[in-house]
Structure 1
């Protein structure tokens, strides 16, 4: 067993399984996710969000798997009675993309449902997530990376029922700079010119109690890596998407998602702080207040102290 604060993980995604009385925790678990060969993804299991069994190997690439680096941000969704993992991968000389894997059990093993990502092959894409519209049709919502387009973009694309093919063309939901809180960032690599731009990361879609469609997503703000909320004015994936003026989570942490804990409490999962190797999974209750979600100032103080 491991305590939560002993688990190094980025982009945490929690899958509650009420019939088992447990949570499964997935995320980017390679020690350094930006360099070196990709190992795979681990999963942890807990009944209280604090003490975790594992890690268990949820995914390990088999011989012939196309990608060998940047194994990022796995999410696991239940779809038509099976567990589907959406995760980002890259290989030397090939664009980064989101691929879908499946398993009969939350622990895996997860195996690809196609031999290549479903995101456009000539785009640098990442952080795909599953969304089911009001008619029950599946969509992938994903980011087109700022390193390719400077002003990062968010896209949606309809999928076939079995999640193996695209059922429509990708269409743009918004760009990073449409959110007033977003600030530029710079990426530097040895021997290369620094790259400047605006990040889109980690979309997570959810419906409010009033039936509105909202999205959590991450970028950089005044206090570092942060998360904002976008709202669909139509209530449909097509939008138009309206950005909140201020970030929902503003300080040195992000790539979050929401889940209902086993007592029904709406809970935010994110990694914090944003620096490697110190990132840890953080869970905080959130509440609806007016037209937005709120995180308490006490939570911010705790995050600030625990993040060092």
Structure 2
């Protein structure tokens, strides 16, 4: 058994499965995040969020799988009785894309849900996440990368009910530079990373997403006052977390406590999963200061 401080993961995503009394954590392996040839995706398993067993292999690509590097940001959603992994992949000469994988159990094994990625062909994309709207229609929210468009973009696209493909054109939600807390790079680039959707009790729909901030990697909140995925979206002025950490997601533990999972610091190979308690107050989120 190991602790979170011993796991070199970026982009941690934790799936609670109450009937198994287990938490399943997926993420980007720090050792192959930027170089090397990843062997797939691993999962760690815990009963208490303190001690973890693993790593266990959750996805091993077949010999003919189209991507061979930059296996990034796997997140797993339970949907219609199965488990779907949204993850980003890349190959030489092929733009980065989000592909959806599927399994019958949370730990896998995961296999491609369709032959092709679900992000637009020819776009440089990453960090697809699932959102199911009030009409029970599935959507994917994803980023179009700054390396292609300079000012990183956030999109939503409606998916087929079996999550096999997009069924409409992507809708532009916002650009990274619209957030007052987002800081541009030396070449004028603004980053969009790691969207995650959260519905507030007052009907507002929030999106956690990450970019560069004053103190390094940071994570802010965008909000749709209409409660619809299509917006219009506005940006909170200050980041939810601005201390060189981000790519966050929210989940409730088995005691119903709301927790935020991020990686921090954003320095390879020092990045580690970090769990922070969060409270919802008047349509927004606040990180609870550690005692």
Tell me if both proteins adopt one fold, taking TM over 0.5 as the criterion.
yes
1:206 aligned to 2:198? yes
Counterpart of 1:255?
247
Counterpart of 1:110?
110
Counterpart of 1:28?
28
After superposition, the C-alpha distances for 1:127-172 in whole angstroms (9 at most, x for unaligned) are 0000001000000100000111000000000001011121111010
Counterpart of 1:235?
227
Report the count of equivalent residues. 291
1:32 Cα deviation from its structure 2 partner:
3.0
* Distance (Å, rounded) in 2 between the aligned partners of 1:97 and 1:5: 30
Instruction: Provide TM-score, normalisation by structure 1.
Output: 0.92
SS in 2 for 1:298: coil
Superposed, 1:97-136 pairs within 5 Å as 97-136=97-136
Counterpart of 1:189?
none
SS in 2 for 1:247: coil
1:290 Cα deviation from its structure 2 partner:
3.3
* Distance (Å, rounded) in 2 between the aligned partners of 1:265 and 1:218: 23
Superposed, 1:215-226 pairs within 5 Å as 215-226=207-218
Superposed, 1:138-217 pairs within 5 Å as 138-186=138-186, 195-217=187-209
Query: Aligned match of 2:270 in 273, 278, 299?
Result: 278
1:90 aligned to 2:90? yes
Superposed, 1:6-17 pairs within 5 Å as 6-17=6-17
* Distance (Å, rounded) in 2 between the aligned partners of 1:94 and 1:109: 25
1:45 aligned to 2:45? yes
1:121 Cα deviation from its structure 2 partner:
1.2
After superposition, the C-alpha distances for 1:232-277 in whole angstroms (9 at most, x for unaligned) are 0211011000100000001110000000011000100000111011
Please identify runs of 4+ aligned residues in structure 1 that moved more than 4 A.
none
Counterpart of 2:79?
79
Structure 1: which 5+ runs fail to align? 187-194, 300-308
After superposition, the C-alpha distances for 1:89-109 in whole angstroms (9 at most, x for unaligned) are 000000100000000011111
SS in 2 for 1:164: coil
SS in 2 for 1:38: coil
SS in 2 for 1:48: coil
Counterpart of 2:66?
66
1:211 Cα deviation from its structure 2 partner:
2.4
SS in 2 for 1:66: coil
1:38 Cα deviation from its structure 2 partner:
2.5
1:298 Cα deviation from its structure 2 partner:
3.3
* Distance (Å, rounded) in 1 between the aligned partners of 2:143 and 2:93: 20
Instruction: Provide TM-score, normalisation by structure 2.
Output: 0.98
